[in-house]
Amino acid sequence: MTFAVSVAALHKRYPNVHALRGIDLDIHQGEFFGLLGPNGAGKSTLINVLAGLVKPSSGSAAVLGHDVQRDYRAARLSLGVVPQELLYDPFFRVREMLLLQAGYFGLGRSSHAWVDELMERLHLSDKAEASLQSLSGGMKRRVLIAQALVHRPPVIVLDEPTAGVDVALRQGLWQLTRELHREGHTIILTTHYLEEAESLCDRIAVLAKGSIAALDRQSALIARHPWRIAQLSLTHEQALPAALQVHVLRRDARRVLLRVARSADAEAHLCALVQQVGLADLALQIREPTLEEVFIELLDASARAAEVTA
């Protein structure tokens, strides 16, 4: 089986930072994959290795079976990275830049029809002759996407595509991304908006300090999480007794979120504690954690583990 992306024992050491610490990761063709992690986790370094922009210190990486170093051209042709910023001369016009980009990939006149279709799908057609510098932030973002898709790459990486983007463009972006996914493209998404990852991605890797802290389907990540979340609604801003205090995850005014272990006993114990302080069972609702809650705890756990080994 050929993976869309296959990374094995990948390390990247910068002079002062060990940015990737032995990454093993296979992404299937046709997956919608989320690559999550806080700033500095190594996401961009990993993407740049896949794009051939950063040389690994050791280990290997391949896109659709093409090694990113030995078989750079084929790997690069298989991958489209939507970067965060335009790398082109601001005086270029939109269509002109896209055709130039197609030429860079060795595509000739045959690419013109696709470039025009791409501009159509991204609602860029009426900006075809506009200079890049005259575009609004949202329009620039569309151009970045078109630029990454010019060579119809089977594997598409979207690096923080919705950072600083308004709601309408964000929805347009997700519609296009879903279409591309339906058409068979593999999508790899990095985002800080966990609700986006939650609604779009099949599997998720959480990167922390250059290592994979978790990798699974999001439903499995949530189900494997040791805690469920109990939400307690108070009638007024009362203090909680110490027995309940130890369970508190977050509190804002009258809404308290508590951790509860995944067992009937633990839930019954919590209900009893809540009753003891004179709060009816009705005020307590127990639910699964959101992806964001799992993510935050995973990062805390990985930070604690790093402190122990430091």
Burial tier of 276 (Cβ tally within 10 Å: 0-12, 13-18, 19+) = exposed
19 binds ligand ADP, rule: CB under 6 A: yes
Query: At its nearest, how many Å lie between ligand ADP and the CB of residue 44?
Result: 3
> Which of 2, 8, 9, 17 is close enough to bind ligand ADP by CB under 6 A?
17
Query: At its nearest, how many Å lie between ligand ADP and the CB of residue 167?
Result: 25
Query: At its nearest, how many Å lie between ligand ADP and the CB of residue 136?
Result: 26
Q: Tell which positions 123-162 bind ligand ADP, by CB under 6 A.
A: none
Q: Choose between 43 and 66: whose C-beta lies nearer to ligand ADP.
A: 43
Burial tier of 147 (Cβ tally within 10 Å: 0-12, 13-18, 19+) = buried
Q: Choose between 83 and 172: whose C-beta lies nearer to ligand ADP.
A: 83
Q: 167, 180, 160, 161: which is closest to 32 by C-alpha?
A: 180
Calculate the CA dihedral of residues 298, 302, 308, 310 and round it to 10 degrees: -160
Say if strands 66-67 and 79-82 run parallel, antiparallel, or are unpaired.
Answer: unpaired
Q: Tell which positions 31-90 bind ligand ADP, by CB under 6 A.
A: 37, 39-45
Query: At its nearest, how many Å lie between ligand ADP and the CB of residue 24?
Result: 17
Q: Choose between 130 and 296: whose C-beta lies nearer to ligand ADP.
A: 296
Q: Distance (Å, rounded) from C-alpha 233 to C-alpha 253?
A: 9
Stretch that binds ligand ADP, among 14-22, 136-144, 262-270, 299-307 (CB under 6 A): 14-22
Q: Choose between 25 and 258: whose C-beta lies nearer to ligand ADP.
A: 25
Query: At its nearest, how many Å lie between ligand ADP and the CB of residue 83?
Result: 12
For residue 140, how many C-alpha atoms fall within 13 Å in the half-sphere facing its CB?
Answer: 19
Query: At its nearest, how many Å lie between ligand ADP and the CB of residue 162?
Result: 16
The phi, psi pair for 293, rounded to 5°, reads -65, -40
Q: Choose between 14 and 104: whose C-beta lies nearer to ligand ADP.
A: 14
The CA angle 198-203-209, to the nearest 5 degrees, is 90
Q: Choose between 114 and 193: whose C-beta lies nearer to ligand ADP.
A: 193
Positions touching ligand ADP (CB under 6 A) are 14, 17, 19, 37, 39-45
